[in-house]
Amino acid sequence: MSAGGERRRERIDRGIKVRTAGIYALMSWREMAYLVAPRVLLIGGLLLLPLILPGMYWKRVISIVCIYALLALTFDFLAHYVGLVSLGGAFFVGVGGYLSAILNTKLGLSPLICVPTAALAGGAVCTLLLLPCLPLRGVYFAIVTLMYPLFMARVIEALDILGGTDGIMGIDSFPSQWAEDYFVIIAVLLFLFGLRRLVNTDLGLVLRAVKDNDQAVKASAMSITHYKVLAVFIASVIGCMAGACLVHIYMWAGISTFALDFSVLPIAATVIGGSGTLVGPLIGCLILVPVSELLRDFGTLRIVFYSLILLAFITFRSEGLMIYGQRKYHQVERWRAI
Amino acid sequence: MEILIYGTINSVALALYALGFALVYGISRLPNFAHGALYVLSGFIAWSALNTLKLNYLLSVVIAMAVTALIGAVIYRVFLIRVRGMEISEIIASYAIGLAILEGLRWGGFKGMTYTLPPFIEGSTAIAGISVDYQRLVVIVIGAALVAILWLFTHYTRIGLALRGMAQDERAALMLGIDSDIMAVVAMGIGSMLAAFAAILLLPLGNIVVESGYNVLILAIAVCIVGGLGSWIGAVLAAFLIGFAQILTVVYVGAHFQMVVALLAIILTLILKPSGLFGQQKELEERV
């Protein structure tokens, strides 16, 4: 509010936003374009990216972006639609990664079969392991999920199982770079739009009720645990899928799949992109991951860099880019004299 | 006997790690995930004062503690106060600060060489046939003294009483003229100073490495959760519980499992009794 005390800023929905709110109002190309343009931009942009970007290196970066986007998506979904703040994205990555690695090296299955199988199996395993802490809320759930990946890493290290500190080597990669890119891109798009649908169904409504007022859910004779289990399963399937893809991209599964990176960067991406929008995390990843790749030469400085960005966004601009963008797209702002 | 002596030392060390964390959480309900980072940072400051600025030992210790307290207070005043009350944002923000400090130190501070702080007193003695170096004994004595001093501080000084008042009922404290924002800054300063104090006492026992920041954080959280977040007595008792459990695992199972014990303790406590052994938190509020 830099202007004098006699003015205020007001925000008003654009006419076209109001007109396109109801499906019956879709009578002109302009209104349809208003609705479709952002979605087409996102889908088309993502699908075109591997074609536009030069060189193997940047194509690889695209797949890494998508993997982080999957993780960020699970974080956003769990935190803002179910009320379970999971700081342990690395747990999903690790479980999915190791499962896929085992399937691939022991049974010799192709990566394209391994990944979905590992995602489903990993989802079941993660849900089972997280089951005891589902009654927890808030800080407690956050801390316990933060500890899970650390715990798994230490156990693997201490028991020297699954290849110990060396990890599992000799994992097949995807058939080609194109297969790799489009596999993860399509996975991201499917899960993104799938989750957006899900949160608007009746089930999504109940999940949000679990977040906002679980007593009311209980009073409606619905089991909170049942719905939390369902949500965690969905999230861990997505997270494990990310882990499985990652393992096949790097052709190696090791303790570092439980590393903090996989827990922190998705959270940073979500906060930057816009919490609770589901698209925001993807946008955040599209910005953060390439920047962090560019800073790879500086070693751990990139972790400093993205934790500082995360800090700045969460303390000073907690709404995130996506919500800001949505506001600009749907509303006009103007100064008014009072 | 060996288990008893080293168990006690380990337990006191854990209690020292956890005190600052417990104090900050108890007073302003802030889970300070930058605690481990402040611990390592103060070790680094002490080392720089000692070796780069060539100050004497006592002076650099005082400087390290003062600077860390100041940094903690500034972190709270500038960043964390803005997300106060939003638990998840608090965790993420303080964790981001901790990460930035630790990885920044790894990038710019600790490279190549091994960094060590000198102990207070060189040499060792034998207790019941087991050799224990003096620094470890100093740790026990000062650790016990510190708990006593903290108790006196919070029960008999104006600031201490104000802090306790705020911990018990913030609104009532506000009505009695206690500014909760200032008190939270003070609490964070004292908490950071305790982290620095722990670092100066305990770092001479080993090298200063960045990884210890993460370990200290995990151990502090483990102790506080097992003891019940917000309960100091619980934290001290839990430190002994985990301390001895760790030493027993090292002796009978293997050194690799030392951290596993702490992590398992966190997970089990949260699952079985989230309010901790001595927690004053309303259990029903945290569980559904």
Q: Are A178 and A53 in contact (CB under 8 A)?
A: no
d(CA A131, CA A216): 22
CB nearest to A154's CB, from B82, B97, B260:
B260
Q: Nearest-CA neighbor of A194 among A224, A225, A237?
A: A237
d(CA A318, CA A320): 6
Q: Which two tokens stand for residue A31?
A: 């209104």
Sheet strands (E) in A75-151: none
Task: Please give the helix or strand (H or E) that residue B157 lies within, else none.
Answer: none
DSSP label at residue A260: T
Phi, psi of B32 (to 5 degrees): -85, 90
Q: What is the mean pLDDT of chain A?
A: 85
Q: Which two tokens stand for residue B126?
A: 């034998």
- Cβ–Cβ below 8 Å for B267 and A314: no
* DSSP-assigned states of every residue in B208-261: --THHHHHHHHHHHHHHHHH-TT-HHHHHHHHHHHHHHHHHHHHHT-GGGHHHH
Distance of CA A212 to the CA centre of its chain: 21
Q: What's the whole-number mean pLDDT along residues A214-231?
A: 88
- Cβ–Cβ below 8 Å for B266 and A271: no
Number of domains in chain B: 1
Confidence of residue A240 (pLDDT cuts 50, 70, 90): very high
Q: What is the pLDDT of residue A123?
A: 92
Q: How far is CA A119 from CA A44, A101, A106, in A?
A: 26, 12, 17
Q: What residue numbers bound the domain in which B203 lies?
A: 2-286
Convert the pLDDT of each residue in B228-240 to its tens digit: 776 777 888 888 8
Q: Does B104 touch chain A (CB under 8 A)?
A: yes
- Cβ–Cβ below 8 Å for A139 and B260: no
CB nearest to A158's CB, from B106, B107, B260:
B260
CATH number (domain holding residue B158)? 1.10.3470
CB nearest to A314's CB, from B89, B271, B274:
B89
Q: What is the pLDDT of residue B283?
A: 46
Q: What is the pLDDT of residue A250?
A: 84
Query: A204 in a domain, yes or no?
Result: yes
d(CA A165, CA B7): 29
Q: What's the whole-number mean pLDDT along residues A133-141?
A: 78
Q: What is the pLDDT of residue A120?
A: 92
Q: Are A103 and A109 in contact (CB under 8 A)?
A: yes
Percent of chain B with pLDDT over 70: 86
Residue A22 has pLDDT above 80, yes or no: no
Convert the pLDDT of each residue in B182-226 to its tens digit: 888 888 898 898 888 888 888 777 777 777 888 888 888 888 888
* DSSP-assigned states of every residue in A28-61: SHHHHHHHHHHHHHHHHHHHHHHHHS-HHHHHHH
Q: What is the pLDDT of residue A69?
A: 92
Residues 189-218 of B with CB under 8 A from A: 218
A116/B109: higher pLDDT: A116
Q: What residue numbers bound the domain in which A119 lies?
A: 59-321
Q: Is A7 helix (H, G, I), strand (E, B) or coil?
A: strand
- Cβ–Cβ below 8 Å for B263 and A303: no
d(CA B176, CA B172): 6
Q: What is the pLDDT of residue A239?
A: 92
Q: Does A331 touch chain B (CB under 8 A)?
A: no
Q: Does A317 touch chain B (CB under 8 A)?
A: no
Q: Nearest-CA neighbor of B224 among B285, B166, B266, B164?
A: B266
Highest-scoring range by mean pLDDT, A83-87, A146-150, A187-191, B88-92 = A187-191
Q: Does B142 touch chain A (CB under 8 A)?
A: no
Query: A50 in a domain, yes or no?
Result: no
Q: How far is CA B233 from CA A99, B20, B148, B150, B268, in A?
A: 43, 13, 11, 12, 20
CATH number (domain holding residue A152)? 1.10.3470.10
Query: A228 in a domain, yes or no?
Result: yes
Best mutation target, A76, A131, A308, A315, to test chain B (most B CBs within 10 A): A315
pTM recorded for the entire structure = 0.84
Convert the pLDDT of each residue in B49-61 to its tens digit: 887 777 777 888 8
Q: Does B260 touch chain A (CB under 8 A)?
A: yes
Q: B126 forms bridges with which residues in the sheet?
A: B131
Number of domains in chain A: 1
B164 CB burial (10 A radius; 0-12, 13-18, 19+): middle
Q: What is the pLDDT of residue A305?
A: 82
Residue A321 has pLDDT above 50, yes or no: yes
Q: Is B15 helix (H, G, I), strand (E, B) or coil?
A: helix
- Cβ–Cβ below 8 Å for A133 and B97: no
Radius of gyration over every alpha carbon of chain B, rounded to an integer in angstroms: 19
Least-confidence region, from A27-36, A286-295, B206-215: B206-215
Query: A184 in a domain, yes or no?
Result: yes
Spell out which residues of chain A touch residue B256, defining contact as CB-CB under 8 Å: 154, 157-158
